Amino acid sequence: MLTEFHYNTFPQEIIFGAGKLERLGEIVAQYHWSRALVVTTRSQRANGNLARVENALGAKLVANYDATQPHVPQKNVDDATRLAREHNADVLVALGGGSAIGVAKATSYRLQSPIPILAIPTTYAGSEVTPVFGVTRERDGMSGTKRLLRKETVNDPRVAPRVVLYDPQCTLDLPRELTAATGINAFAHCVEAAYSITRNPLSSAAAWYGARRIYHALPRCVENGTDVAARTEMLQGAYLAGVSLSNVAMGLHHGVCHVLGGTLNVPHGLANAIVLPHAIRFNADVCAEQLAQLARVLGIEAEGDEIAAQELAKRVAQWTHQMQLPSRLREVGVRETDLDLVAQLAGQSKMVQNNPKKISDGELRKFLAEIW
d(CA 178, CA 370): 26
Indicate the helix (H) or strand (E) that contains 258.
helix 252-264
Indicate the helix (H) or strand (E) that contains 148.
strand 146-155
For residues 187 and 256, the answer to whether their CB atoms sit within 8 Å is no
CB of 52 to Fe ion, least distance (A): 27
CB of 1 to Fe ion, least distance (A): 27
Select 151 or 176, whichever has its Cβ closest to Fe ion: 151
CB atoms within 10 A of CB 303: 8
Give all strands (DSSP E) within 2-90, no chain letters: 13-16, 36-39, 61-65
Site string for Fe ion, 166-185 (x = CB under 5 A): -------------------x
CB of 91 to Fe ion, least distance (A): 26
Binding-site size, Fe ion (CB under 5 A): 1
| Residue 274: burial class (beta carbons within 10 Å; 0-12, 13-18, 19+) | buried
CB of 135 to Fe ion, least distance (A): 16
What is the footprint of Fe ion within residues 297-326 (CB under 5 A)?
none
What is the footprint of Fe ion within residues 20-39 (CB under 5 A)?
none
CB of 80 to Fe ion, least distance (A): 22
The yes or no reply on residue 244 touching Fe ion (CB under 5 A) is: no
Select 43 or 185, whichever has its Cβ closest to Fe ion: 185
- Which residue has its beta carbon closest to Fe ion? 185
Select 168 or 267, whichever has its Cβ closest to Fe ion: 267
Select 179 or 185, whichever has its Cβ closest to Fe ion: 185
For residues 244 and 189, the answer to whether their CB atoms sit within 8 Å is yes
Select 181 or 292, whichever has its Cβ closest to Fe ion: 181
Amino acid letter, 200: N
CB of 253 to Fe ion, least distance (A): 9
69: DSSP letter? -
Site string for Fe ion, 185-204 (x = CB under 5 A): x-------------------
CB of 23 to Fe ion, least distance (A): 29
d(CA 37, CA 42): 15
CB of 274 to Fe ion, least distance (A): 13
Select 153 or 224, whichever has its Cβ closest to Fe ion: 153
Select 37 or 121, whichever has its Cβ closest to Fe ion: 121
Q: Which of 255, 237, 211, 215 is nearest to 356 (CA)?
A: 255
DSSP string, 276-329: HHHHHHHHTTTTHHHHHHHHHHTT---SSHHHHHHHHHHHHHHHHHHTT---SG
Task: Give the binding site for Fe ion (CB under 5 A).
Answer: 185
